[in-house]
Chain A
Amino acid sequence: MMTRPQTEPPSDAVLVDAWRAGSEQAAAALVARHATSIARFLAASGAGTSDIEDLVQDTFFRAFRRIDSWRGEAAFRSWLFTIAGNLLKDEHRRNRGRTVVTLEDRDVAGHDDPAATLTASEMEARLQEGLTRLPRLQREVFLLRVQQGIEYQEIARILGTTAGAARVHYHHAVKRLKELVQ
């Protein structure tokens, strides 16, 4: 039986070049590829449920408008996290520190075992609540590491700090969250 050779999807850098050359399809492909990660990061960072889509949209709009300032040293995805984090910071500043996350806002992920579901959802709810009490850098380092699986070196690039400092923020975050979640 003949197997059709699989074509690799174009890399972010290739799509960015295509967008620079005027391809709207390339821009749409980049949005489709990264929108969910950005939305999850924003939601866990404290964005209001009703604001998430707008913030995701603003993140991409800003990224494409300033595409010339992305020189490819960091991954395109990392650059999106930087923009999303800054947008959320501005949003919080506008709301003057009003906490926008409520536990009732969050849906619970489905699970076969009701007891396990309860435990997992409870844990997530407590964690979400605990995250809102952390300083911004600790919260973002924790989420980028744990939720997005990004290495410290790349986290440092996203947040404009050093890998060592990112590691320290992570350990502070975990320590504080352990206290808050228990």
Chain B
Amino acid sequence: MIACEWLCERMAEVAHGRSGWTLEESAHLASCAECAAEWGLVAAGGRLGRDLEGRLDTAAIANRVVDRLAAARRVDRWRRTGLLVGLAAAAALVIAVWPARHPPPQQIARSSQTLTVPLAELDGLDSGQLQAVLETLDAPLSSEASIAIPTLGDLDEQQMERVLRSLEG
């Protein structure tokens, strides 16, 4: 005796053509309305979209996919190259501009020595001496803080030459 549940489990397999009905199963299908209804549904489901099999031009689809992939790879390469050129340009700019704006460490050390003023001694200075101390200090912080981002227009000829040489390799 075939159980409906067993038969229904087998339906997808049969609909997909991987198996067939046994005589006993066929007899059950002929006598059980519920199973017959389900089999009708599953068999129809197995056929859905079969009409596409002859109509679909898979070779043309494959060609289009391959073309799109090749185009996408080209774009990736351009992006990577552009990024590298951009990074190289930025690095070159920093190399060219940095020394001009920032003195070497020895100079900083020397100037910091001249700025070493014991604060406690300031109380004993008259206004002329205080002015002299002030003159030894750098420009006010506010004007130092507004550092303009360097552009190619800020570079002198020598700096520009270095940037171009680094870009050209």
B161 adjacent to chain A (CB < 8 Å): no
**A127 CB contacts on chain B under 8 angstroms:** 41, 44-45, 48
A interface majority secondary structure: helix
Count residues of chain A with CB under 8 A from any CB of chain B.
42
A142 adjacent to chain B (CB < 8 Å): yes
Within 8 A of B (CB), among A30-55: 31-32, 35-36, 39-41, 43-44, 52-53
Q: How far is the CA of A106 from the CA of B58 in the complex (A)?
A: 20
Q: How far is the CA of A103 from the CA of B148 in the complex (A)?
A: 68
Q: Are A32 and B62 in contact, CB atoms less than 8 angstroms apart?
A: yes
**Closest beta carbon of chain A to B70's beta carbon, Å:** 7
What residues of chain A have their CB less than 8 Å away from a CB belonging to chain B? 24, 27-29, 31-32, 35-36, 39-41, 43-44, 52-53, 56-57, 60-61, 64-65, 106-109, 120, 123-124, 127-128, 142-143, 145-149, 174, 177-178, 181-182
Can you list 23 A-B pairs with a CB-CB distance of less than 8 A? A24-B69, A24-B70, A28-B66, A31-B62, A31-B66, A36-B52, A43-B48, A44-B45, A53-B56, A53-B61, A57-B61, A57-B64, A57-B65, A60-B61, A61-B65, A65-B69, A108-B51, A123-B40, A123-B41, A146-B16, A149-B15, A178-B37, A182-B37
For the complex with contacts A27-B69, A147-B16, A174-B38, 16 further pairs of A-B residues with Cβ separation under 8 Å are A28-B59, A28-B65, A28-B66, A29-B62, A56-B61, A57-B68, A60-B61, A107-B55, A120-B47, A127-B44, A143-B45, A146-B11, A146-B12, A146-B42, A149-B15, A174-B8
